[in-house]
Structure formats: structure tokens, C-alpha cells
Amino acid sequence: MEFFKTILIEEAVNIIKEEFKDYKLESEIVDLDDAYDKVLYEDVISKEFVPEFDRSTVDGYAIVAEDSYGSTDTIPTVLEIIGEVKMGDRTELVVSSGKCAYVPTGGMIPKGANAVIMIENTEKMDEKTLLVQKPVRIQENIIKRGEDIKENEVVIERGKKLNPAHIGALASLGISKVQVFKKPKVFIISTGDEIIGIEEKLEFGKIRDINSYSLKAQSKKIGLEVVGNIIVKDDFIQLKEAILDGLEKSDIVLLSGGSSVGERDYTKEAINSLGGKGVLAHGISIKPGKPTLIASAKGKLVIGLPGHPVSAMTVFMAVVEPFIEKLYSLNTIKPTIFAQMTENFPSSAGKDTYVFVNIKKEEGKYYATPKFGKSGMITNLSKADGYIVIKIHEEGVNKGEIREVYLL
């Protein structure tokens, strides 16, 4: 029996990036309504100012701020009302000392005014007389022209995954279509005589296909398009045909199971029979997930993941996600927090150890408690809030230690 030689996670990631360094994602133009959660292909540069004019952030009166200094309920400042700004219209009103003009929220600030006093801090004596009962600062309740977005400013950078705030910013600029990356396609294969579909009757010795569903969800989360998935028995011909089918339909093929070194694990043999460079690495120094296979077949990436669900998902996060981030030029960072460990936890000698944790917040501080469980237990991950990584050179983590937690 042939045993694999393990490499570091960093080496595995670098092997993939180097082998597929010339692979480029194409772009497409989509409507703004369809742009949410897609990755921006190029910088969005504003061609205008937002707002286009100085405008009020409240309903109130545009005034000269200095007129309000010292104003109180008992000793108000008396101002002359010279008119009203109509919402959506340009105003030709000019405010000088001793005068004011009504402005609605979002309305244009008249020339000469340098503040807006909220309507609730005033009292209107008659149609021409206003009592100001509170002082305001210069520029209070005013958003200046271009204060939100300036002309020729980079509003959103290439590689940003578009969220609702980004969509709003694009709408503010009148952008109805946006150039985004096309999603890489992925094909998922679950292997093993014991694997059955989730709708099949569960018989003794059989296992429902967990990995197809968890890997599909992980793939969609990081911006992949899942174009197919299949269950294949431990048969060389069937496995080879399934991989070929996946290579024709997708950019990346993920296999779960069959990446070990057992007598009936045909993944390595099947991949090497397809032409191309074949298997590039077999075995990663990671727990859980050691028996991982990295290959190039017909110029496309093939990853052989362990069969245990938690191991497969862990390797996906450790190896596949960094490659996809590089393809997308993603400049977002996986969300993390810093938390205090509530228990000691040992590392596995010679491996990077991924430890899933639960997070609790008390009095403004985060606390992380390790979840103990084996790599075949999917609930070990489904009930976790995040994970920490104990690097290969570390002996473990100690109770009370502050660690970076990657949120799931």
C-alpha cells in the first residue's frame, strides 16, 4: 500500500495558485437588481458629485449660524422668514444675517446660509417671523456638495463582493448596470459504495450523502456556480467517467471520499489516467483533513477531499477558499473576532489543527469554547460559531489565551 507524503497548508495553497496562475475569470454585465453578492470586476469611478448641491438633513430653517448663538427658550433670536425651498427644485433665495428660509429634509441650502436649525427648536410667530430657541453650529444639519461622493472618486474597488450598501451607492450615481466576474463553475462528486442519496431508504451500513449538500452550500457562499453533483460507487471506470463529465461541465471538480490510500480508493489512479499533470500533491498537514489530493486534469483543478463531512468542509475552507479569493481579486477579509479561550486544547503534532468553537459574549468580551468531536460528526460543525487555527509549531491553546476566531 502506498502512503502519501504530507505538505503544509501554505504549500498546498501555493501549488494551486502557481499551477493555475494563468487562469482568468471572465466578466459579464448585469442589471443592478441582479448585482447583489456578485464580485465587482473593475473599479467604479464616480462621474458626478453626491450630493450635487448642499442639502439639509432635517426639516428646518436655513440660517446664518452666528445669529443663533446665545438663543434660548426664554431669550430667542428673532429672524425674518424670506421664503421656502421647494423639495426637488433649485432655489434662488439668499439668506443673510437676520433672515431665514424653510428647507425640507433633502432640500437645497440657499446661498448665504451655513446651518439649519431643526423645526422643533423654533417657533413660528407669524408667516414672516421665526423665533430661534437653540444655538446651532456652523454646517450643522447640512451635508455639503460632494461630501458623500466626489467626482472622479473610486466609489467601490474591484474585488468587492457587492452588498446592499454598495447597491445603494451605485443607484445614487445612476448606474443601472455593472460589470462583475462570471462565477467559476464547480462539479461535485461523492464516492463510496456506502453513500446513498438523501431520499433513499437508509439501510444498515449505508450513509446519506452529506458532502454534496454541504459542499454545494460552501461553494455558493464563496461565489461558485454548482453545475452538477453525482454519487459514484468505488469503481474505477465509473469514477473516471464522472471526473471527465465534471471536467467538461466545470472549471473545478471536487471529489469527497476516495482520497485516502486504501486498496479501493481509485481517485489518484483515475485522475492520472486522464492526461495532463495529474496528481500534484497527496496529503496535507491538517487536522481534520490529512488525506487531501490536489491535481490538474485537462488543465483544470481537481481536489480530492476526505470523506468525513467535517474534514471535507475544513479542507475546503483551508485550500479552496484562498484560491477562489485570488481568482476574484477579493479584497474583503473573512470576518473574525478576538475571543478568550475558556479551556485548554492540545494541537496535533506536525499538523495545523482546526478547532471549532462556540462564541459567547459577556460584558462586552467574547469567549470561545472548543467543541469536541470527531471529523465524521457533522453536528460538530453545524453547532459551531467559528474556528481557530493552531499552527503546526504550536503545542496548543491555553485557557485565558486570546485567539483570532474565524466566523462561519
**Number of structural domains the chain divides into:** 4
pTM (two decimals): 0.76
Residue 212 has pLDDT above 70, yes or no: yes
CATH number for the domain harbouring residue 165: 3.90.105.10
Helix (H) or strand (E) holding 245: helix 236-249
Average model confidence (pLDDT) across the chain: 90
CATH number (domain holding residue 199): 3.40.980.10
C-alpha span between 276 and 257 (Å, rounded): 22
Range among 199-213, 263-277, 374-388 rated most confident = 199-213
pLDDT attached to residue 260: 58
The letter for the amino acid at 90 is R
pLDDT at residue number 275: 79
Distance separating alpha carbons of residues 283 and 76, to the nearest angstrom? 79
Tell me which DSSP letter residue 356 carries: E
Same domain, 34 and 77: no
Domain endpoint, select from 289, 304, 328: 328
Nearest to 280 by CA among 1, 7, 3: 7
Listed residues 306, 328, 350: the one ending a domain: 328
- Does residue 298 sit in the same domain as residue 286? yes
Q: How many beta carbons lie within 10 A of that of residue 205, not counting itself? A: 7
What pLDDT, on a 0 to 100 scale, did the predictor assign at position 331? 62
Q: Is 392 a domain residue?
A: yes
Give the tens place of pLDDT for each residue, 3-57.
Answer: 457 888 899 999 999 999 988 889 999 999 999 999 999 999 998 888 889 999 9
CATH number of the domain that residue 72 is part of: 2.170.190.11
Q: Is residue 2 part of a domain?
A: no
Flag whether 173 is in a domain.
Answer: yes
| Together in a domain, 340 and 262 | no
224 band by pLDDT with thresholds 50, 70 and 90: very high
Q: 361 and 322, same structural domain?
A: no
Q: How many residues does the chain have?
A: 408
In a domain, 115, yes or no: yes
Beta bridge partners of residue 252, listed in sequence order: 186, 301
- For position 377, what pLDDT does the model report? 62
Residue 97 domain boundaries: 55-143
Output the pLDDT for position 1. 36
Q: Cα 318 from chain centroid?
A: 16
* Same-domain pairing of 210 and 257: yes
pLDDT tens digits along 263-305: 446 788 888 988 788 999 988 988 887 788 999 999 999 999 9
258 confidence band (pLDDT: 50, 70, 90): low
**Which one-letter DSSP state was computed for residue 320?**
I
380: pLDDT strictly greater than 80 = no
C-alpha cell belonging to residue 60: 428646518
